[in-house]
Amino acid sequence: MSEPEVSLALGHGAVLEESPFGIESKKLVMWLFIVADAATFGALLFGYGYLRVGSPNWIRPFAFIPTILNGMVMTAVLLTSSLTMLAAVGAAQAGRRGAGVRWLGVTAVLGIVFAALHLREWFNLFAQGWSPSTNPMGGSVLFGGTFFGITGLHLLHVVCGVVAILLVALAFRRGRLDAGHVETTGLYWHFVDLVWMFVFPLVYLMNAR
Amino acid sequence: MAAMESTPVPGMRLYVIVWVALLLIVGAEVALTYAGLPTKTLLYALLTLAVVEAGLGVMYFMHLKYERRTLFWSLIPALIFVFIMMNQFWSDAYRLRSLHQ
């Protein structure tokens, strides 16, 4: 049942007035979530900046190989997954259901690759003695807390995004969801990509040796 | 009742151009990191490039450029205002640093 039909069935005549934004409610709600989540990540990054400025013994632990190079590969993977998500949305809107599902699958695989690269990096750091509360190189222990906190929250978003994409792909293939749902999921995925555009330079590059 | 508008979707060609631009910006960020710039200069340069990347992502990948202006004006200025307000805390961070030195 479409949004206007639901409104009619519920007797909500006022809801049938044209939306001032000209988009479906689910898309508007996703935008509101994105703005709120952007403020959350913004607060975390400002908190990281605060601690960094306030700590005279802050260290820059990341060498080009492996960390920065790994971060570059992760960034390229995530950016490419945004492109495949756009292909999925385009196919879904054009009514090519099979192609839409396939592109969603490729996007999910790229998300999994990103998460795997991220976890590999984390475990390398753990093996070197890093943790959210320990710093094997000396200097401020706050580095681990901010690094694992910010990248961990982003990784959580990626994992949730992969799960959402797979669920939407399954339901879209069965005809239970429409192109609008694929587009709304795409909005979330692009946001995850966009957050990384700030995390990579501020958390990785600003801590490069 | 006016029907809900479907967002006009630009072709994949434009998306690929934006994708290449984003990859080039990432490359530029890494190059700047190893250019030996002072920390503050590097921070401002990286932040500027990140904002450009975010702008490209929001306007093209997230289609905000193709939505009604009301959506842009309802969302983006409020978010920018929040980020501007967060800058109040820097003076306290510098105070903390001076206490430790």
Higher pLDDT, A89 or A18: A89
Cβ-defined contact of A90 to B19 (cutoff 8 Å): no
Residue B11 is predicted with a pLDDT of 86
Q: Which token pair is B79?
A: 């978010």
Cβ-defined contact of A56 to B22 (cutoff 8 Å): no
Question: What are the tens digits of pLDDT across the range A84-142?
Answer: 999 999 999 999 999 999 999 999 999 999 999 999 999 999 999 999 999 999 888 99
CB nearest to B33's CB, from A19, A23, A208:
A208
ipTM score? 0.91
Cβ-defined contact of B19 to A80 (cutoff 8 Å): yes
Cβ-defined contact of A50 to B92 (cutoff 8 Å): yes
Higher pLDDT, A12 or B9: B9
What predicted TM-score, i.e. pTM, was given to this entire model? 0.91
Checking if the pLDDT of A13 tops 70, the result is no
The model's confidence at residue B1, banded by pLDDT at 50, 70 and 90, is very low
Give the distance from residue B97's alpha carbon to the nearest chain A alpha carbon, in angstroms. Answer: 4
Q: Which of B74, B87, B75, B50 is nearest to A194 (CA)?
A: B50
Question: What are the tens digits of pLDDT across the range A29-68?
Answer: 999 999 999 999 999 999 999 999 999 889 999 999 999 9
Q: Work out the number of other CB atoms within 10 angstroms of the CB of residue B71.
A: 19
What is the four-CA torsion angle of A130, A131, A137, A142, rounded to 10 degrees?
A: 150
Give me the DSSP letters along A143-179. Answer: HHHHHHHHHHHHHHHHHHHHHHHHHHHHHHHTTSS-H
The model's confidence at residue A9, banded by pLDDT at 50, 70 and 90, is low
Question: What are the tens digits of pLDDT across the range A177-189?
Answer: 999 999 999 999 9
Residues in chain B closer than 8 A to A93 (CB atoms):
6, 9
Among chain B residues, the shortest Cα distance to A58 is held by: B97
Among chain B residues, the shortest Cα distance to A3 is held by: B4
Residue A11 is predicted with a pLDDT of 56
B55 Cβ contact partners less than 8 Å away, ≥ 6 residues apart: none
CB nearest to B93's CB, from A43, A54, A183:
A54
H or E segment and range at residue B42: helix B39-56
The residue whose two tokens read 């093209």 is: B60
Residue A153 is predicted with a pLDDT of 98
Residue A18 is predicted with a pLDDT of 77
Cβ-defined contact of B61 to A202 (cutoff 8 Å): no
Among chain A residues, the shortest Cα distance to B71 is held by: A21
**Contact A194/B54 with Cβ under 8 angstroms?**
yes
Q: Which token pair is B98?
A: 């001076």
Mean predicted confidence (pLDDT) in B68-91: 95
Question: What are the tens digits of pLDDT across the range B33-57?
Answer: 999 999 999 999 999 999 999 999 9
Q: Which token pair is A40?
A: 């959350």
**Contact B31/B39 with Cβ under 8 angstroms?**
no
The model's confidence at residue A19, banded by pLDDT at 50, 70 and 90, is confident
Give me the DSSP letters along A119-148. Answer: HHHHHHHHHTT-BTTB-TTSS-THHHHHHH
Question: What are the tens digits of pLDDT across the range A152-174?
Answer: 999 999 999 999 999 999 999 99
Among chain A residues, the shortest Cα distance to B96 is held by: A54
The model's confidence at residue B100, banded by pLDDT at 50, 70 and 90, is confident
Mean predicted confidence (pLDDT) in B4-25: 85
Q: Work out the number of other CB atoms within 10 angstroms of the CB of residue B38.
A: 8
Give the distance from residue B74's alpha carbon to the nearest chain A alpha carbon, in angstroms. Answer: 9
Question: Average pLDDT, whole number, for chain A?
Answer: 93
Q: Which token pair is A209?
A: 């040796």
**A44, A83, A182, A199: best to mutate for the B interface, most B CBs within 10 A:** A83
**A3, A33, A74, A79: best to mutate for the B interface, most B CBs within 10 A:** A79
Chains A & B: contacts with CB separation below 8 Å = 141
